[in-house]
């Protein structure tokens, strides 16, 4: 193979590309209403929802407190709103970003 | 304790450049969850050719090979044969192409690979037009849809032809396993891919992947529209295992085609009568599928 024209091989992970800057609406989880069913995690196309330790957030009751909780990674969330649309308890609000900056 | 219905392992990184609410990224995410790290992916020109980002960025944690538009079937055949020749029999080789790269441009190489009985996975993620280049009609665009090449203006030139049925084309090749799947039913999708791991020979999957940009819907409705497509019987979920049909999800709600089409901007020009005509075609196809299931399953019992 000619060394002047090596085969282009991708090396850097796309996580250096912070797609969170695309966002117009920010999803905010209301943990007091969250039942930790992880449907938001399941349908996130980024995926920008991660699973965190059960004690990190408040929970509705003790049974739910035992389950690991979802957390949104705002570095990558593009704000499509699938999580808010699919949430069975409507525990995710889509908040206009500019209203948060004030 | 985790409350998960699909595998936790993520082989797709965030930071990719797909549109908001992209259904094709969900298809890839679920496919890699099912096939695992021991996979080589091949992608022709399609949306997924740009989703991994600008060189040198990568978004998949598995090897990915880009090929020309029409050769996905040939490329996966070659990779699989080379792996087998070097004694690596346990690696899954996956061709991941759009509807244009499968039903139009890539059909000859796919047909060849299936006819030769190559032991590979082939996924057609169906966003029902050439979305990467700006919503041009493909043979997988459904009847009634607006695209930039089937425009609706003073002359109403929406697509008049029916969608190509790729699973039937694959069944005609005597394929060991062909199935439809939807991003709204990830458990079903992953189950079908895991089943394919134990089947020797070509495996074909037709995955319904919503495109908010080209279908003129809100990005938040991606999964909702995909679910409506299954519930309204526009896109039934079934598998064909060695010629035997099996419907894997029976629609529970009685959803009409109109309810599926109404939220989508690409169908908004259709009149009541035109929607009724499409509804009768959908009903006919669904009844035919029910009969095929009954007939092939009864034949199987006799043997």
Residue A23 structural domain: 18-101
Any domain includes A2 = no
Residue-level pLDDT at B91 = 95
Q: What angle do CA B296, B206, A85 make, to 5 degrees?
A: 120
Residue-level pLDDT at B174 = 95
Local mean pLDDT, 10-residue blocks, chain B (303 residues): 90 94 96 95 94 88 93 96 94 96 95 96 96 94 95 90 95 96 96 96 96 96 96 96 95 94 94 96 97 92 67
- Determine contact, residues B206/B122, Cβ cutoff 8 Å: no
Count of domains forming chain A: 1
Per residue in A23-41, pLDDT tens? 999 999 999 999 999 999 9
Residue-level pLDDT at B177 = 97
Any domain includes A9 = no
Those residues whose C-beta lies under 8 Å from the C-beta of residue A28, and which sit 6 or more positions away, are: A72, A92, A93, A94, A95
Residue-level pLDDT at B56 = 86
Cα separations in angstroms, B169 against A31, B114, B140, B160, B192: 48, 11, 13, 21, 19
Any domain includes A49 = yes
Q: If DSSP codes are grouped into helix, strand and coil, which group holds residue B288?
A: helix
Selected residue of B5, B15, B30 to mutate for chain A interface (largest A Cβ count, 10 A) = B15
The dihedrals phi and psi of B107, each to the nearest 5 degrees, come to -70, -30
What are the structural domains, with CATH classification, of chain B?
Answer: 23-302 (3.40.50.970)
Q: For residues B229 and B28, give the distance between their C-alpha atoms in angstroms, rounded to a whole number.
A: 20
Any domain includes A28 = yes
Interchain pair B29, A82: CB under 8 A: no
pLDDT class of A8 with cuts at 50, 70, 90: confident
CA distance B149 to chain A (A): 27
Q: Of B198, B208, B297, which Cα lies nearest the Cα of B245? A: B297
Q: For residues B201 and B51, give the distance between their C-alpha atoms in angstroms, rounded to a whole number.
A: 29
Any domain includes A30 = yes
Percent of chain A's residues with pLDDT above 70: 97
User: Residue A60 CA to chain centroid, in angstroms?
Assistant: 21
- Determine contact, residues A31/B29, Cβ cutoff 8 Å: no
Any domain includes A93 = yes
Selected residue of B4, B5, B14, B47 to mutate for chain A interface (largest A Cβ count, 10 A) = B14
Per residue in B1-42, pLDDT tens? 888 999 999 999 999 999 999 999 999 999 999 999 999 999
Per residue in B76-104, pLDDT tens? 999 999 999 999 999 999 999 999 999 99
Those residues whose C-beta lies under 8 Å from the C-beta of residue B273, and which sit 6 or more positions away, are: none
Q: For residues B271 and B152, give the distance between their C-alpha atoms in angstroms, rounded to a whole number.
A: 13
CA distance B19 to chain A (A): 9
Interchain pair A85, B220: CB under 8 A: yes
CA distance A79 to chain B (A): 7
User: Residue B195 CA to chain centroid, in angstroms?
Assistant: 17
Q: For residues B31 and B11, give the distance between their C-alpha atoms in angstroms, rounded to a whole number.
A: 10
Q: For residues B223 and B266, give the distance between their C-alpha atoms in angstroms, rounded to a whole number.
A: 17
Residue-level pLDDT at A18 = 93
Sign, Cα dihedral of B65, B30, B128, B95: positive
Residue-level pLDDT at B207 = 97
Of the candidates B3, B53, B219, the beta carbon closest to that of A14 is on B53
Residue-level pLDDT at A101 = 72
- pLDDT of A1 > 60? The answer is no
**Residue carrying the six token digits 């394919």:** B196
Which residue of chain B comes nearest to A16, CA vs CA?
B15
Any domain includes A84 = yes
Q: For residues B238 and B232, give the distance between their C-alpha atoms in angstroms, rounded to a whole number.
A: 14
Convert B147-163 to b/e letters by CB count within 10 Å (16 or more is b).
beebebeeeeebbeeeb
Any domain includes A1 = no
CATH number, domain of A51, equals 3.30.70.20
Using a 10 angstrom Cβ sphere, with 0-12 exposed, 13-18 middle and 19 or more buried, the burial of residue B43 is: buried
- Determine contact, residues B57/A13, Cβ cutoff 8 Å: yes
């Amino acid at each position: 193979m000619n060394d002047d024209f090596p085969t282009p091989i991708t090396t850097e992970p796309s996580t250096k590309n912070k797609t969170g800057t695309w966002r117009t609406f920010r999803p905010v989880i209301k943990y007091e209403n969250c039942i930790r069913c992880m449907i938001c995690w399941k349908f996130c196309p980024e995926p920008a929802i991660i699973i965190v330790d059960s004690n990190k957030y408040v929970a509705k009751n003790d049974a739910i407190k035992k389950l690991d909780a979802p957390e949104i990674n705002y570095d990558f969330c593009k704000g499509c709103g699938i999580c808010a649309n699919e949430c069975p308890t409507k525990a995710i609000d889509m908040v206009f970003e500019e209203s948060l900056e004030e | 304790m985790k409350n998960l219905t699909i595998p936790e392992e993520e082989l797709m990184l965030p930071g990719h450049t797909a549109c908001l609410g992209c259904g094709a990224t969900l298809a890839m995410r679920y496919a890699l969850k099912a096939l695992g790290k021991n996979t080589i992916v091949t992608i022709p020109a399609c949306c997924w050719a740009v989703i991994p980002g600008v060189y040198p960025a990568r978004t998949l944690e598995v090897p990915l090979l880009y090929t020309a538009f029409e050769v996905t079937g040939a490329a996966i055949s070659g990779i699989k044969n080379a792996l087998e020749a070097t004694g690596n029999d346990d690696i899954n080789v996956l061709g991941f192409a759009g509807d244009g790269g499968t039903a139009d441009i890539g059909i000859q190489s796919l047909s060849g690979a299936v006819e030769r009985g190559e032991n590979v996975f082939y996924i057609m993620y169906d966003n029902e037009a050439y979305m990467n280049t700006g919503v041009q009609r493909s043979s997988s665009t459904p009847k009634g849809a607006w695209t930039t090449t089937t425009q609706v203006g003073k002359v109403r030139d929406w697509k008049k032809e029916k969608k190509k049925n790729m699973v039937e084309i694959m069944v005609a090749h005597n394929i060991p396993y062909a199935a439809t799947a939807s991003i709204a039913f990830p458990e079903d999708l992953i189950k079908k891919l895991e089943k394919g791991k134990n089947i020797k020979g070509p495996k074909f999957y037709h995955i319904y992947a919503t495109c908010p940009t080209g279908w003129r819907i809100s990005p938040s409705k991606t999964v909702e529209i995909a679910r409506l497509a299954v519930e309204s019987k526009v896109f039934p979920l079934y598998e064909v295992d060695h010629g035997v049909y099996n419907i894997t999800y029976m629609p529970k709600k009685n959803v009409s085609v109109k309810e599926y089409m109404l939220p989508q901007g690409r169908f908004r020009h259709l009149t009541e009568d035109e929607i009724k005509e499409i509804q009768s075609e959908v009903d006919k196809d669904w009844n035919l599928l029910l009969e095929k299931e009954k007939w092939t399953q009864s034949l199987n019992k006799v043997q």
